[in-house]
Amino acid sequence: EAQVTQNPRYLITVTGKKLTVTCSQNMNHEYMSWYRQDPGLGLRQIYYSMNVEVTDKGDVPEGYKVSRKEKRNFPLILESPSPNQTSLYFCASSLWAGGLETQYFGPGTRLLVL
């Protein structure tokens, strides 16, 4: 079954404690992306990756890091989380950057930073 998986689905942490949210896809997609969804703000792109070892900033990259060492994985790293990073996070992948209509989203990771 084609899918994008994220772990963990729910996470409560404290300010400053480094965390990683994993994202994996099984469709051999080239393009992967991270979004956050906040009430009243909709979805905002954090980082995206065109392919292995190719990443670039979206609209709200501050406070986040990503890496793309393998095609299937695109982890989101919060080196020093702060309360304003409390949000619902979605990972997504598509066949290629120009094929956004093929974009599959993961189920989401709800993060609370105290």
Binding footprint of another protein on the chain (CB under 8 A): 4, 31, 33, 35, 40-45, 48, 50, 56, 58-59, 90, 92, 97-108
Provide, rounded to whole angstroms, the least separation between the CB of residue 80 and another protein: 25
* DSSP codes of every residue in the chain: ---EEEE-SEEEE-TT--EEEEEEESS--SEEEEEEEETTTEEEEEEEEEETTEEEE-S--TT-EE--SSSSB--EEESS--GGG-EEEEEEEESSTT-GGG-EE---EEEEE-
- Residue number, 69 or 101, with CB nearest to another protein: 101
Taking the complex as a whole, the smallest distance from the CB of residue 73 to another protein amounts, in Å, to 17
Closest separation in Å from C-beta 93 to another protein: 11
Q: Least distance from C-beta 101 to another protein, angstroms?
A: 5
Measured from the CB atom, the residue of 100 and 114 that comes closer to another protein is 100
| Residue number with CB closer to another protein (12 or 14) | 12
Smaller CB separation from another protein, 8 or 99: 99
Which amino acid is located at 98 in the chain? G
Please report how many Cα atoms fall inside a 13 Å half-sphere around the Cα of residue 40, on the Cβ side.
0
